[in-house]
């Protein structure tokens, strides 16, 4: 059976360019970038080229890009590193109730270390009010962390406006954003956003798993959270995973232009799908129509998310019950928006890529309509 993959916010297929780059790094340029011989120098050049590609994509400087093993590592490095490095200046952190678990659990750790964490709730549309962040700022606020695009709702957050609010208040706080779900899908410029720290991941943009990056604005100091050699200026020690990093850079080069070219088309497919789903399933609720191209969340009250996901999988259609990292638990992001629990426990997230078509939306709508009929008799 041919499958229809609609779970691209969880992970993506690896594009051919990234595969080729990773294989080349494993079989040809396989030296350790720290080794002082020909193969080492070649690997070091490959690492520098990858750094320049990421920097260009983010409108940053190459020496502001640090490679990590993934988005979770980048977020941990930003939050733990910034908070611990600045604890003598204050111990207050502002974040939100809709952050990914990679941030939520890191903030919980910082709270256990004696930091005070204020979490801002979203409005009913899933957006964080800038005024709430402004009002939460204190003299001892040292860090603000607000994700750029939510992984469940696809909502873009007003990060640039929050940066302006921090600056206008004369606050010392650094601003971090988790841009894992936004990178390449929408324009992401560290200068336009006004952030000090920004996290991205490879496997969300058709690169291999095992690579991420953290932008650290020049002059910002982080305390290391892992200890070893001096790689990545001591912030991400250990021999760099060059196959994954090379694949990451290749995916950025290949998919950046494609996302820009296909963004409008992907959004049209999403809109077509939403209209069709509401037609075929009249009791379907749209919990979020998303801002990021191709990401939206719907609910079929009366049916458990996990049951719907398994039914669709049997039909060869792959979606997610909210965040893949949530392991099927009700989405905290949706609950924090004030959405009724009975709707949240029936939520499924659909996330498209450039490989999806309107026909896929038609098949999804028919399958969900079928699920309602079949599951009603179980």
Q: What is the CATH number of the domain that holds 73?
A: 3.40.640.10
Domain count, the chain: 2
- Consecutive H or E run containing 363: helix 358-375
Pair (62, 187) in one structural domain: yes
Q: Is 232 helix (H, G, I), strand (E, B) or coil?
A: helix
Instruction: Determine contact, residues 201/68, Cβ cutoff 8 Å.
Output: no
Q: State the pTM of this model.
A: 0.94
Which two structure tokens, joined as six digits, stand for 176? 């971090």
**Chain segment 17-44, per-residue pLDDT in tens:** 999 999 999 999 999 888 889 988 999 9
Confidence of residue 2 (pLDDT cuts 50, 70, 90): confident
Task: Check: CB of residue 257 under 8 Å from CB of residue 339.
Answer: no
Q: Which of 198, 219, 254 is the last residue of a domain?
A: 254
Are 141 and 113 contained in the same domain? yes
Residue 378's Cβ-count burial label (10 Å; 0-12, 13-18, 19+) is: exposed
Separation of alpha carbons 54 and 60, rounded Å:
8
Do 174 and 44 lie in one domain? The reply is yes
CA distances from 39 to 52, 231, 242, 248, 336 (A): 20, 17, 12, 20, 52
Of the two residues 2 and 120, the one the predictor is more confident about is 120
Domain range for 103: 16-254
377 is a domain residue: no
**pLDDT at position 377:** 61
- The terminus-to-terminus CA distance of the chain in angstroms comes to 24
| Domain end marker among 254, 280, 314 | 254
Helix, strand, or coil (residue 214): strand
- For residues 80 and 198, membership in a common domain is answered with yes
Q: For 264-314, how does the pLDDT look when each residue is reduced to its tens digit (9 = 90+)?
A: 999 999 999 999 999 999 999 999 999 999 999 999 999 999 999 999 999
Phi-psi region of 212 (alpha: psi -120 to 50; beta: other; left: phi over 0): beta
- What is d(CA 293, CA 261) in angstroms, rounded to the nearest whole number? 12
Is the separation of the CB atoms in 147 and 177 below 8 Å? yes
pLDDT over threshold 90, residue 374: no
Q: Under a CB-based contact definition with an 8 Å cutoff, are residues 264 and 352 in contact?
A: no
- Mean pLDDT over residues 56-76, rounded? 98
296 and 236 part of one domain:
no
Mean pLDDT for the stretch of residues 130-139? 98
Q: Which tokens in the block code for residue 334?
A: 């949706």
Residues 156 and 71 in one domain: yes
Same domain, 275 and 220: no
373 confidence band (pLDDT: 50, 70, 90): confident
| Residue-by-residue DSSP string for 119-179 | EEPP-TTS---HHHHHHH--TTEEEEE--SB-TTT--B--HHHHHHHHHHTT---EEEEE-
* Same-domain check for residues 84 and 139: yes
Of 15, 281, 285, 325, which is the active-site residue? 325
CATH number at residue 267: 3.90.1150.10
> Contact, 291 vs 147, CB < 8 A?
no
Looking at 204, 221, 254, the residue that finishes a domain is 254
Residue 375, pLDDT score = 80
Q: What is the dihedral of CA 353, 203, 21, 74, to 10 degrees?
A: 140
- Domain-located, residue 378: no
d(CA 156, CA 117): 22
Give the pLDDT score at 239. 87
- Whether residues 144 and 242 share a domain: the answer is yes
- pLDDT at position 35 is 85
Please tell me whether residues 212 and 360 are part of one structural domain: no
Q: What's the CA gap between 330 and 334, in Å, rounded? A: 8
Report residue 327's pLDDT band, with 50, 70 and 90 as the boundaries: low
**One domain for residues 326 and 357:** yes
- Asked, for residue 364, whether it belongs to a domain, the answer is yes
pLDDT digits (tens, 9 = 90+) for 228-261: 888 888 888 888 999 999 999 999 999 999 999 9
pLDDT band with cut points at 50, 70 and 90 for residue 183:
very high
281 classed as catalytic:
no
The answer on 270 and 217 residing in a single domain is no
Over the Cα atoms of the chain, what is R_g? 21
């Amino acid at each position: 059976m041919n499958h229809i993959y609609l779970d691209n916010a969880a992970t993506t297929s690896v594009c051919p360019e990234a595969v080729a780059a990773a294989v080349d790094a494993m079989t040809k340029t396989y030296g350790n970038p720290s080794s002082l011989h020909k193969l080492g120098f070649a690997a070091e050049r490959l690492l520098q080229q990858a750094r320049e590609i990421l920097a260009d994509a983010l409108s940053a400087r190459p020496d502001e890009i640090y490679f990590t093993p993934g988005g979770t590592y980048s977020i941990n490095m930003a939050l733990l590193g910034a908070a611990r490095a600045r604890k003598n200046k204050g111990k207050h952190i502002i974040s939100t109730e809709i952050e990914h678990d990679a941030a939520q659990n890191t903030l919980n750790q910082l709270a256990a270390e004696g930091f005070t964490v204020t979490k801002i709730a979203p409005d009913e549309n899933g957006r964080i009010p800038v005024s709430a962040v402004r009002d939460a700022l204190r003299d001892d606020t040292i860090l603000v962390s607000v994700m750029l695009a939510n992984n469940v709702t696809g909502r873009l957050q007003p990060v640039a406006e929050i940066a302006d609010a921090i600056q206008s208040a004369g606050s010392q706080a650094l601003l971090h954003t988790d841009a894992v779900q936004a990178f390449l899908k929408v324009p992401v410029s560290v200068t336009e956003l006004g952030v000090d720290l920004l996290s991205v991941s490879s496997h969300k943009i058709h690169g291999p798993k095992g690579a991420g990056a953290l932008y650290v604005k020049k002059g910002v100091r982080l305390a290391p959270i892992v200890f070893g050699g001096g790689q990545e200026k001591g912030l991400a020690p250990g021999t760099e995973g060059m196959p994954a990093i090379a694949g990451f850079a290749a995916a950025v080069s290949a998919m950046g232009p494609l996302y820009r070219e296909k963004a409008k088309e992907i959004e049209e497919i999403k809109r077509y799908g939403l209209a069709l789903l509401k037609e075929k399933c009249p009791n379907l609720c749209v919990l979020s129509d998303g801002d990021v191209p191709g990401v939206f969340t719907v609910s079929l009250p009366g049916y458990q998310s996990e049951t719907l996901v398994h039914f669709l999988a049997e039909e060869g259609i792959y979606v997610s019950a909210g965040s893949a990292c949530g392991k099927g638990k009700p989405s905290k992001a949706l609950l924090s928006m004030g959405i009724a629990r009975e709707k949240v426990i029936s939520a499924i997230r659909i996330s498209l890529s450039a490989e999806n078509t309107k026909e896929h939306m038609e098949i999804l709508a028919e399958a969900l309509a079928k699920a309602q009929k079949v599951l009603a008799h179980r």
